[in-house]
Amino acid sequence: MTRFHVQLAAVAVVVCLALAPFVLSPFSITLMNYIGIYSLVAIGLALLTGVGGIVSFGQAAFVGIAAYATAWVSALNGQSPWLGLLLGVVLTCSVAAVLGVVTLRLQGHFLSLSTVAWGLAIGFLFGNVEGLGRFNGISSIPPISLGSFALVSSAQIYFLIWGIVAVVLFLGYNLLDSRLGRAMRALRGGNTLVESLGINAFQIKLVTFVIAAFLASLSGWLYAHMSRFISPGPFDAGMGIEYLMMTMVGGAGSLLGGVVGAAIVTLLKNSVQDYLPLIAKGASGQLEIVAFSALFILFLQWARQGIVPFVARYLPKTKRERPQPAPPLPRRPQPTPGELLLKVDGAERRFGGLVAVNNVSFEVRSGEILAVIGPNGAGKSTMFNCLTGALRVNKGEIVFAGRPITRDPQSRIARAGVARTFQHVKLRPRMNLLENVMLGTYGRTSTGLFAGAFRLNLREEASARHEALMQLERVGLGDKPFELAGNLPLGNQRILEIARALAADPALLVLDEPAAGLRRQEKLRLAELLRSLRADHLTILIVEHDMEFVMSLVDRIVVLDFGSKLCEGVPSAIRNDERVQEAYLGGVA
Amino acid sequence: MTSDIAAILAIDGIATGAVYALVAIGTVLIFTVTRVIFIPFGDIAAFTALTLAALDAKRFPGTGALVVVLACLASLIEIISLLRAGEPRLLPRALLFYLVLPLAVVGAAWLVMRMDPPLAVRLVLALMLITPISPLLDRIVFRPIADGTVLLLLTVSVALHFALVGLGLLFFGPEGVRTEPLTSFSTEFAGVLISGQTMLIVIAALVFSGLLYLFFDFSLVGKSLRATAVNRTGSRLMGIRPARAGTIAYLLGSLMAGVSGILIAPVNTVFYDSGFLIGLKAFVGAIVGGMTSYPGAAIGAVGVGILESFASFESSALKDVIVFSLLIPILIWRSLASLHSEEEIEE
């Protein structure tokens, strides 16, 4: 299956949708309209939950804000629905931005709980604010009109709704395939990796959150002007859950899943309403929600992935072409070999009463490979985390390329030219090799939200793709760039991390126990790769356990023991140092 | 606001808060042992009140039918999973726990009810009928996904709440109930009238928290529950079965929710869907305690009760808006206060 086939299928679907109002009954068209309106929210939620990993129970509140805003403008103040759209979108996005700034730093389930909280609070507000009709709602909302043509019947507004859905899907997929979209997809699985790539995770989360709210506000606007009447009911917490359900049924990781999920849930709900009274007389409304929740729970128990990813597994794979040569991305000015690159001066880090790193000082000069070694618990990893900004030192100073980075956040340090790998490999297993490496180019590229969504960035994108491929080839993984990263064996995953770090064009490469868990052959290949990188004048700092690996590779060694620096020198001197032997072997018996 | 009104509001708030505290402690208990944020606890409390009201009215409560349905479902699932695991010899034991025991409870309640029992017996009956529900739900809903992330469990838990609300309407009907007061005693303290009901609520909350404390610190089962809370794998290696610990936690938790339901029934009119707000407010309290500390949860829940009491005096329409808006700063404070190891979301 090629890109052409995908486009053909998309065109076929669009044609079918365009013809639908001419064949379907008015009732079916109304049902389709609801599906379209719910789809918008579900697409936003797919972006937020499936892609960004932020589970929100509160989207219905955003829909409600926009719906009430446009109802207030058009029904209560007699202005144009288009003005209502403007107010709805601005108001919703502002509320989302404020809520996002306040809550998006929360971790894991705390964040989801906060969405329950504001979802409920806003939901209660609709029914209790004077001037918004309280629980009676607002009626006689005018239809949307284009010039003098009013979209009154359901077949008329159908085209507007599905047109918006199509555009949103198109822009959404473009966005996901762009620089910002890759950053969004990297959010799932933790902040540490994202920050280490020079990406401000909070900022990306906020953008994703506001986009989801924006889509909800479009939905609210359409809803108000289609049903011509609003009350608090459709925006309460229950509906928030239903949106989440649509997203998860469709497949939270895919935007199309939002549409499919909205369709399935809406149709199912409709048929439940039709058939339940036949099974259990007089209890339809109650059983509906029971049947519905039960189905949802069953679904989560048996198919957490959702329908679209499930079906996609059986479709033929799309063939992708290898990236073509493109103008290179700009490189950062590299330090001259031999120049002082990193200086750690009297670093100290405490955890309560434990001094993990105690007054450690050392220097890294450009072009060398320096190893920090030491027995278990020597403070190597803590030192490493302080260098890369994952932890702050309590005392002392760290200077990189002449600039103090002691207090900088991780992403700033990464952007300054420190690229790292992880002791426990951190990749995005569901993204392919090329995309994983392209994450590394984030700091060297500049495509923003709109350029990404409207594909105004083709040149930079091509350059980034080509750069990623070159780095894959440089480390020897260039033969299958579209393989999923999760399918690689551990040795190659470590190599892939190095390729990702190289794609950032670093001045200093910091490797955290790169040989851990590797087999002998893999270690030899890794050492060879690191030597070839040194030949390209790259500076490398290794924190490592494996003495044999270190001794044959590095220029200088710093030995830590119990948090303090024991000694420093060339490998042969370290090998013969009595203090080191004592630290490792427990002294001369 | 005069100091008199403030005192009345405060006492009112403490009483409501004590009810929330019982539910909050149950929530923390379940969360620490099973990692499930059990939103439906509020529903359990509300169902208890409705059950008691039905018993008072000499009707057999819908709870009985609910337990029977759930017991059949749970047994079915247990049978299937045991057969699949190739362990049919465990079937009789499983049937005893998941089918015979709950049915026996319902049967006993039905028989006793025909004898027109006094209030104390009716209270016990209501509690007996309500306690099997959560463990059965645990078997049906949460056991198959016990290894899931906290978020998955939370999502399922929220969905379960909605199912229960629907079932509540089905089994109990839309009418609100208010049961007769448990005591007509009242006293005056520093010029403010305190009803016996209020005192009963506070005393019950204290007694049950105390009992829980004794249970956890001085009984082996309690200690095994704590061990499971700290480390599931580790406690498993020590021969503790997490599933069993979960069942005990659910039993205890629903007992506490049941007691809170009985206590609140004479004070507030309880509907089939009143549970959600009770559960969520208790939950706000539990979060104040970081979802791990029992005293923290209790103090937080009482705080919520007092806040709600004062908020409803200022604006009864917006009291819920105020309470839930306040959850956000609390969450932020908790999130900052707790040292998080980064939870890796499943890919």
pLDDT, tens digit (0-9, with 9 covering 90-100), for B65-88: 889 988 998 999 888 888 888 888
Chain B closest-CA separation from residue A196 CA (Å): 14
Question: How far, in Å, CA of A400 to CA of A342, rounded?
Answer: 5
Optimal mutation site among A301, A426, A432, interface B, most CBs of chain B within 10 A:
A301
- Report the residue from B158, B284, B332 with minimal CB separation from A57: B158
Is B3 among the domain residues? no
Max mean pLDDT among A428-432, A500-504, B191-195, B286-290 falls in A500-504
The pLDDT of residue A93: 94
Q: Where are the domains of chain A?
A: 30-308, 338-417+507-589, 428-505
Q: What is the mean pLDDT of residues B92-106?
A: 86
- Report the residue from B148, B167, B347 with minimal CB separation from A189: B347
CB-defined contacts A:B, below 8 A = 134
pLDDT-based confidence at A339, cuts 50/70/90? confident
The pLDDT of residue B338: 59
pLDDT, tens digit (0-9, with 9 covering 90-100), for B4-39: 788 888 888 888 888 888 888 888 888 888 888 888
Please tell us whether the domain made up of A30-308 is placed in CATH 1.10.3470: yes
* Neighbour tally for A403: CB within 10 Å: 9
Optimal mutation site among A191, A289, A304, interface B, most CBs of chain B within 10 A:
A289
Q: Is B321 on the interface with A (CB under 8 A)?
A: yes
Burial class from Cβ neighbours inside 10 Å (0-12, 13-18, 19+) for residue B178 reads middle
The pLDDT of residue A214: 95
Total tally of structural domains belonging to chain B? 1
The pLDDT of residue A325: 83
Contact B151 A108 (CB under 8 A): yes
- Report the residue from B321, B342, B344 with minimal CB separation from A125: B321
Instruction: Decide if pLDDT at B343 tops 50.
Output: no
- Mean pLDDT computed over every residue of chain A: 85
In 3D space, the residue among A549, A479, A482, A491 whose CA is nearest the CA of residue A522 turns out to be: A491
Task: Please list, residue by residue across A418-429, b when 16 or more beta carbons sit within 10 angstroms of its beta carbon and e when fewer do.
Answer: bbbbbbebbbbe
The pLDDT of residue B345: 40
Q: What is the mean pLDDT of residues A131-144?
A: 80
Is B5 among the domain residues? no
Is B345 among the domain residues? no
8 A C-beta contact, residue A527 and residue A553: yes
pLDDT, tens digit (0-9, with 9 covering 90-100), for B177-195: 777 777 767 677 666 677 7
Tokens at A413, concatenated: 């340090």
The pLDDT of residue A61: 93
Determine which of A127-136, A360-369, A543-552, B25-34 has the lowest per-residue pLDDT on average.
A127-136
Supply angle C-alpha A536, A529, A465, rounded to 5.
75
Q: Is B334 on the interface with A (CB under 8 A)?
A: yes
Contact B163 A120 (CB under 8 A): no
**% of chain B residues with pLDDT over 90:** 1
Dihedral pair phi/psi, residue B87, rounded to 5°: -125, 60
The pLDDT of residue B215: 83
Instruction: Decide if pLDDT at B286 tops 50.
Output: yes
The pLDDT of residue B15: 84
Terminal C-alpha separation, chain A: 69
- Domain residues for B68? 10-173+196-337
Is B230 among the domain residues? yes
Q: What is the mean pLDDT of residues B237-262?
A: 86
Q: What is the mean pLDDT of residues A17-44?
A: 89
- Report the residue from B144, B167, B287 with minimal CB separation from A113: B287
Contact A289 B344 (CB under 8 A): no
Determine which of A31-35, A390-394, B187-191 has the lowest per-residue pLDDT on average.
B187-191
**% of chain B residues with pLDDT over 70:** 93
Instruction: Output A477 or A93, whichever has higher pLDDT.
Output: A93
Question: How far, in Å, CA of B161 to CA of B176, rounded?
Answer: 19
Determine which of A202-216, A326-340, B176-190 has the lowest per-residue pLDDT on average.
B176-190
Interface predicted TM-score (ipTM) = 0.81
Is B268 among the domain residues? yes
Q: What is the mean pLDDT of residues A58-72?
A: 92
8 A C-beta contact, residue B254 and residue B131: yes
Contacts of B156 in chain A (CB under 8 A): 297, 300-301
- Mean pLDDT computed over every residue of chain B: 82
pLDDT, tens digit (0-9, with 9 covering 90-100), for A482-499: 888 888 888 888 889 999
Instruction: Decide if pLDDT at B342 tops 50.
Output: no
Q: Taking CA atoms, what residue in A is nearest to B287?
A: A110
Instruction: Decide if pLDDT at B341 tops 50.
Output: no
Fold of A338-417+507-589: Rossmann fold (3.40.50)
Q: Is B143 on the interface with A (CB under 8 A)?
A: no
pLDDT-based confidence at A299, cuts 50/70/90? confident
Question: How far, in Å, CA of A184 to CA of A177, rounded?
Answer: 10
Contacts of B325 in chain A (CB under 8 A): 117-118, 121
The pLDDT of residue B346: 37
The pLDDT of residue A306: 79
Burial class from Cβ neighbours inside 10 Å (0-12, 13-18, 19+) for residue B173 reads middle
The pLDDT of residue A192: 82
